[in-house]
A and B are shown apart, each in its own frame.
Chain A
Amino acid sequence: MRTPRDIALLYQRYFVQMLRNPVWLAVGFSTPLLYLALFTPLLKHIAVSAGLPGSNVLDGFLPGILALLAFASGSGLGFSTIFELRTGVTERLRVTPASRFAILVGPILASMTLMFVFDAVLVAAGAAFGFEVHWLGLAVLAVLLGLLMVTMGAFSIATALLTKEISGFAAIINGINLPVLLLAGVLLPISIGPFWMRVLAHFNPLYYLVAASRLLATGHFSGHQVWQAFAVLLPLCALVLAWATRVFRRAVA
């Protein structure tokens, strides 16, 4: 089969490039830790008044950061696509017989690998400050995080191919980021918001992931939030991947 081989080649290509970019690595590692360090103290007070689940604020907050990280590392992928469009890399790859799906998915999987490394660092740091680690729950959560990352990554890359330049692309991605993040309850739970907000949140895929992540991180698998998250993210991921592959096939780089 040509596709798995191409995926492996393009995965390796992107992974090595990320490792050779020290600035990128430093930011990648420090951002989640900064979130943890800067938000946890604030949340400690809010958590009490808002009645967040769990005795430890990290149990509710850390899974949210993992979801946020998956969302951000996916949606940021288009920036390197724009760079590769401008430097001719995309065209160089597209003129080869390499699978179009592989050209799309190779970089996504490579960034996902690194994302899981960041996640592990975050969990380890959280554990040191009282986050209770439930391995099985985190493993199931990792699958959900991967799904969201692929969805957002494919969406971001396809959007970059369509907009072709940085300003249009950045406007779209930034325009989506803020409402999606606010309506997901990553930093503050949606349950404290008004009714319309709670309704709107149900159209946000990230909302389901965040809700599921809080359950899974505390070792609960049976809640409806868990299967709901899979029910939303699986088809969404497939849909976006199919669309992005199509864009890659026809894209005018």
Chain B
Amino acid sequence: MKDAVLAAHELRKSFKAPRRPPVEAVRGVSMEVRGGEIFGFLGPNGAGKTTTLRMLTTLLPIDSGVATVAGYDVQRSAQQVRTRIGYVSQLGGSDELATGRENLVLQGRLYGDDTSTVRRRVAELIELLELEAFADRRVITYSGGQRRRLDVALGIVHAPKVLFLDEPSTGLDPQNRANLWSHIAALRDRGTTVFLTTHYLEEADELCDRLMIIDHGVIVAEGAPRELKRQIAGDTVLLSVREQDHTAQRAEQRLRTQPYVRELSAEGTTLRLYVEEGASAMIEILRLLDGDGIGIQSLTVAEPTLDDVFLRQTGRSLRDAGQRPETEKRRA
């Protein structure tokens, strides 16, 4: 990929454990991230997301493999990489006894810019991330959402080419999460490449331009959220017919022979159809059943979620990690 700002090839990392075989946290991860996109790294807790991220951000030595970020080799030119990336860890890491502005100015100064340049840039950031109301209070007084926005500001104070966010919305309520998402999207729109890890399906789905799903240190799927969901799962259509002399059986027989229906299962008056593309299938179904005089009670298309993708690839549900998937539903 020509315009890749981040490329990794066969990254591996294992951790030694006393009197046990070493834990292979990352087992051959390769990826390419394009400039100006939000790239998501989705997987359950312990899948190797943070380990990969920390190797890419120079914080963790790489066992084997090569990674290039912003044009520089992560291992051989760590210092060059550091000046061009921002990293916001799960913990944030701001100084609680300092104000938000003080934190930002120090961080900017550590990247080598002079005080007046940094102060100007910090004032812009405070406006951009809407920190005005609390920027001059000590961080210890901040709410979770305020703190998170400051953390992001700390990560971009030097206008990095690539911003790494490790589980940015963990612990935020839905409102603050949505707010953070809009800020992250705005950063992308201003030209920053964003690389984020998440175990929230909605976050990966709504925020990311492209994503990669990782499980047990191995990449199991890669692509745009839409593509991923289509190529692996198709759509599910739920059809409920009016109960009149065996309408359900008649509908089942008719639909089973249609080319767009991959699979079908029936339960009472409800039919569950697995189709290539939900919206167009619904029109076909409506036409077909209407022509046969079968009354329709309801017709719903349930788009597959990223959880279905994960399930197909790993045999496990991301839900097991304690997440509730939001099934997108459209009423016909």
Contact = CB atoms under 8 A, between A and B. Distances in A.
Interface of A: 2, 5-6, 9, 13, 16-17, 20-21, 86-98, 250, 252-253
A253 B97 CA distance: 21
A9 B98 contact: no
Interface centre among A87, A91, A93, A94 (most CB of B within 10 A): A91
A95 B112 CA distance: 14
4 smallest A-B Cβ distances: which pairs?
Answer: A88-B91, A88-B93, A92-B93, A97-B82
Given A2-B112, A88-B90, A252-B60, A97 B83 contact: yes
B127 to A, nearest CB: 22
Contacts of A94: 59
Contacts of A93: 93, 110
B111 A95 contact: no
Count chain A CB atoms within 10 A of each CB in B92, B102, B110 and give the residue with the most: B110
16 contacts: A2-B112, A9-B110, A13-B95, A16-B102, A17-B98, A21-B97, A87-B91, A88-B90, A89-B93, A91-B91, A91-B93, A92-B89, A95-B58, A96-B110, A97-B111, A98-B110
Contact of B107 (A6, A20, A86, A96): A96
Contacts, number: 69
Contacts of B93: 87-93
Nearest to B105: A9
B57 A17 contact: no
Contacts of A86: 91
A94 B79 CA distance: 11
Contacts of A90: 93
Given A9-B110, A88-B90, A95-B57, A16 B85 contact: no
Nearest to B85: A95
Contacts of B83: 97
